[in-house]
Amino acid sequence: MFKATSIALSLVLGALLITPPLLAQSPPAMHGHHAATPAASTPSLPGQDAFGAIAEVVSLLDADPDTDWSRVDLERLRQHLIDMNEVVLRSEVKQLPVPGGLAMEVVAGTIPDGYKWLSSLLGIKGSIKTGMDRLDKVLMADDVTSHWFRKEATFYYLYLQFYIGNKHEEVFTYIKTHNLDIKNNYLFAYLAANLAINDQRAAYAEQVMRQRSREGGYLSMPVWDLEMGYVLLCHQSPDAHVYLEKFINTFKGRFYVKDALQKLSWYYYLDGDMVRATQCRTQILSKGGAESDADKQALKEAKSGKWPDRVLLKARVLCDGGYYGEALQSLQGKGSGDFHTPEDKCEFAYRLGRIYDGLGRSNEAVSAYLTAIKTGEHLKEYFAARAALQAGYIYERQGDKTAAIDYFQKCLSLKDHDYKNSLDQKAKAGIERCK
């Protein structure tokens, strides 16, 4: 029974990891840990991510002399994980003991409207608070079953606390105080690095990735190159393109290929190399899939034929890396009048808001967010919706739950914009926390 549970955890809950970094505004999220040849006839590494799950299934099939590779359809499994990622990432996880084992349930507290059909099909229901409380009890329990799933439960718990509970600082404190092995355990290393990227801590993410063990026996995963490319782009490091290009050339899947090509085009664009920037943008049209919000946005930008404003793009990547002082300096002397399109004017207000927010200047951040909402609520760009979400976060931190809910609801009310599903999930989680 526990082997079967492990498979379910690997294929369903493990998909939670397929989340894009903040540069792609989502999530969001993939990958790797120590690889070993299983001794049993079912996957032996519970809680694995989507890529790890597929790799482990391949190793099992390879070890079976009766495997008919002509009948193996890994693409169908991957497509299944794409759908499951959207449900699991946008939902809540709860864990409760059952006779003879442990049941993992996904509940629908924050599933976006676009994925309600799949949650209904799977019979998913429940609440955020109940799910988090039950998962917390598993971590605190001292029974044999809970010990078996301790690392996996810790992994899910921290991701949920980060994305659903919005407890970013507490998550990084937990990683440090509980001495999670982010050097030798690649699952925990990815957890720390990926969440750091999504919390504008590029320097810490780079440190985690560079310090992870390089000994033999680990599964080689292209995602490390993708994550390192994102991190180095934030500070416009001269070797950022090396990692992004390596990911694009070695990764055989479809997820985040367009996103990686977009970030690579930005690298060359900011560097003034329009020939290579244009080459990368052209590849976006034909390479990779467009299932994730990040890939969809990259494709939309490529089709538009327009390049981002260089000043705003530089401020964006610096801000996404947590280099707020440098980002603010890059906008020094600029005003709304320096930008000519409605989209650029809205983005300017939004970028200022994010920078002030990161610097702890909450009043100035809210003022900038309000401007972004006013100027962008009828645009297809995500700036107004994200500004409303961030304003909600500020009021939530200040204890003004009524104002926080108002802004979370404002985020939900905005339609037909980029990253709609991921932003709606965050807004719904915010409302649940403030009730």
Most confident of the following: 53-57, 68-72, 78-82, 395-399? 395-399
More reliable by pLDDT, 104 or 77? 77
Percent of all residues in the chain with a pLDDT value above 90, rounded to a whole number: 57
Average pLDDT over residues 73-91: 51
Query: Domain ends where: 262, 280, 307?
Result: 307
- Domain-located, residue 230: yes
- The residue written with tokens 């390879």 in the block is 62
Helix (H, G, I), strand (E, B) or coil at 97: strand
- Domain-located, residue 315: no
Dihedral, CA atoms, 69, 73, 74, 80, nearest 10 degrees? -160
Taking all residues of the chain, what is their mean pLDDT, rounded to a whole number?
Answer: 80
Query: Domain ends where: 307, 340, 373?
Result: 307
User: How many Å apart are CA 38 and CA 52, to the nearest integer?
Assistant: 13
- 284 & 186 share domain: no
Most confident of the following: 131-140, 163-172, 313-322? 313-322
- Domain-located, residue 420: yes
Q: 254: domain CATH number?
A: 1.25.40
- Domain-located, residue 143: yes
pLDDT band (50, 70, 90) for residue 38: very low
- 89 & 175 share domain: yes
- 233 & 301 share domain: yes
User: How many Å apart are CA 93 and CA 329, to the nearest integer?
Assistant: 42
Give me the number of domains the chain comprises. Answer: 3
User: How many Å apart are CA 230 and CA 237, to the nearest integer?
Assistant: 10
- 396 & 364 share domain: yes
- 44 & 118 share domain: yes
Query: Domain ends where: 221, 246, 277?
Result: 221
Q: Which amino acid is at 143?
A: D
pLDDT at 13 over 50: no
pLDDT band (50, 70, 90) for residue 145: confident
User: How many Å apart are CA 276 and CA 178, to the nearest integer?
Assistant: 45
- Domain-located, residue 378: yes
* Range 291-320 burial, b when 16+ CB lie within 10 A, else e: bbbbbbbbbbbbeeeeebbebbbbbbbbbb
- 71 & 212 share domain: yes
pLDDT band (50, 70, 90) for residue 421: confident
Dihedral, CA atoms, 194, 196, 201, 207, nearest 10 degrees? -80
pLDDT at 382 over 70: yes
Task: Tell the burial category of 60 from Cβ atoms under 10 Å away from its Cβ (0-12, 13-18, 19+).
Answer: middle
- The whole model's pTM is what? 0.74
pLDDT at 21 over 50: no
- 127 & 193 share domain: yes
Helix (H, G, I), strand (E, B) or coil at 297: helix
What is the secondary structure of 303-352 as a DSSP string?
Answer: HHT-PPPHHHHHHHHHHHTT-HHHHHHHTTT--GGG--SHHHHHHHHHHH
pLDDT digits (tens, 9 = 90+) for 283-292: 999 999 998 8
- 115 & 209 share domain: yes
Pairing between strand 101-107 and 92-98? antiparallel
- 209 & 235 share domain: no
- Domain-located, residue 242: yes
pLDDT at 4 over 90: no
- Domain-located, residue 317: no
pLDDT band (50, 70, 90) for residue 103: very low
Q: 343: domain CATH number?
A: 1.25.40.10
pLDDT band (50, 70, 90) for residue 128: low
Radius of gyration of the chain (CA): 21
Q: Output the CA–CA distances (angstroms, integers) from residue 399 to 15, 209, 391, 424, 435, in the order listed.
A: 33, 36, 13, 21, 12
User: How many Å apart are CA 265 and CA 278, to the nearest integer?
Assistant: 7
pLDDT at 291: 87
pLDDT at 386 over 70: yes
Average pLDDT over residues 9-34: 35
The total of other beta-carbon atoms located within 10 Å of residue 98's CB is 10
Contact 158, 93 (CB under 8 A): no
- Domain-located, residue 316: no
pLDDT band (50, 70, 90) for residue 147: confident
- 148 & 47 share domain: yes
State the angle between helix axes of 293-304 and 420-434 in degrees (0 to 180), rounded to the nearest 10.
Answer: 140
pLDDT digits (tens, 9 = 90+) for 40-52: 344 444 444 555 5
User: How many Å apart are CA 310 and CA 353, to the nearest integer?
Assistant: 18
- Cβ neighbors of 25 (< 8 A, separation 6 or more) are 293, 294, 297, 382, 386, 418, 419, 422, 423
**Rounded to 5 degrees, what are φ and ψ at 179?**
50, 45
- 58 & 179 share domain: yes
Most confident of the following: 61-70, 73-82, 414-423? 414-423
Which residues constitute the domain of residue 38? 2-221
User: How many Å apart are CA 337 and CA 277, to the nearest integer?
Assistant: 28
Of 82-96, 171-185, 366-380, minimum mean pLDDT range? 82-96
More reliable by pLDDT, 69 or 277? 277
- 293 & 344 share domain: no
Nearest to 259 by CA among 303, 305, 293: 293
Average pLDDT over residues 228-248: 97
